[in-house]
């Protein structure tokens, strides 16, 4: 099974929102997103969608976007982003997800020997006391996610975040340090738009770090693991 990742699809079928206001890199969105996915992902693959899935404000408005994702090839694992205001309780969300689509929240998923864990994350370093509180909460959520893998055999682990798990100078956040302790084969993150991937940290303690924001990938999911 191949594992791909992409973040920030920023879909908005219920209330179309042109993304070109954020720069020329979004030209052709969202059609380019769906076309790029179909060009690289096969039916037996797994795709991590690392947050900022839909601009919707309510689950009912996000459902068309979730169904559009569900119709694409492969299995999907969803992670919440900072713009996913529509994301309800995890039980409500899981009740409406199409077959082959999963959502992570304080837990992890194992499919065909591949474990996917993660949490949204937050900006680092924190600038305010509120940022410190949110970051500490995200650390606890990652702990719960990784702990949920106890007793679940797996050969490979990928840890996903929405926010980059490092600071502007590349310094590792507590989230990245915690993830590294679990020994993942890859760490993926999104959120950064217009960034030059070559100027970002490429690894941490030998663990590859992948920027998978949709515009950075030119809307083609990135292969991050080929599971044996």
Over the chain (228 residues), the average pLDDT of each successive run of 10 is 97 83 81 97 98 97 97 98 97 96 98 97 97 98 98 96 96 98 98 86 96 95 93
pLDDT of residue 21: 67
Distance between CA 132 and CA 35 in Å, rounded?
A: 39
Which runs of E-coded beta strand occur in the chain? 2-6, 46-50, 75-79, 101-103, 109-111, 114-119, 156-161, 186-189, 203-204, 207-211, 222-226
pLDDT of residue 15: 81
Task: Express each pLDDT in 181-222 by its tens digit.
Answer: 999 999 999 999 888 888 899 999 999 999 999 999 999 999
pLDDT of residue 17: 80
pLDDT of residue 227: 84
Residues 6+ apart with CB under 8 A from 201: 166, 170, 209
pLDDT of residue 196: 81
Residues 6+ apart with CB under 8 A from 94: 102, 103
Distance between CA 168 and CA 214 in Å, rounded?
A: 20
Task: Express each pLDDT in 90-103 by its tens digit.
Answer: 999 999 999 999 99
Question: Quick one: which of 191, 185, 210 has its CA closest to 200?
Answer: 210
């Amino acid at each position: 099974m191949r594992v791909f990742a992409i973040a920030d699809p920023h879909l908005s079928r219920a209330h179309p929102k042109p993304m070109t206001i954020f720069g020329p890199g979004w030209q052709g969105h969202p059609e380019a997103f769906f076309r790029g996915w179909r060009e690289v992902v096969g039916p037996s693959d797994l795709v991590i969608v690392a947050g900022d899935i839909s601009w919707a404000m309510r689950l009912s408005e996000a459902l068309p976007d979730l169904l559009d994702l569900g119709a694409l090839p492969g299995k999907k694992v969803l992670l919440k982003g900072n713009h996913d205001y529509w994301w309800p309780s995890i039980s409500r969300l899981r009740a409406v997800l199409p077959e082959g689509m999963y959502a992570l929240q304080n837990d992890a998923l194992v499919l065909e020997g591949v474990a996917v864990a993660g949490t949204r994350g937050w900006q680092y370093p924190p600038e305010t006391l509120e940022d410190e509180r949110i970051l500490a909460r995200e650390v606890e959520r990652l702990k719960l996610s990784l702990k949920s893998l106890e007793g679940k055999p797996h050969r490979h682990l990928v840890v996903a975040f929405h926010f980059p798990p490092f600071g502007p100078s590349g310094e590792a956040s507590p989230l990245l340090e915690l993830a590294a302790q679990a020994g993942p084969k890859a760490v993926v993150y999104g959120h950064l738009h217009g960034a030059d991937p070559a100027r970002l940290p490429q690894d941490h303690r030998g663990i590859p770090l992948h920027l998978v924001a949709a515009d950075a990938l030119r809307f083609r999911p990135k292969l991050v693991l080929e599971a044996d």
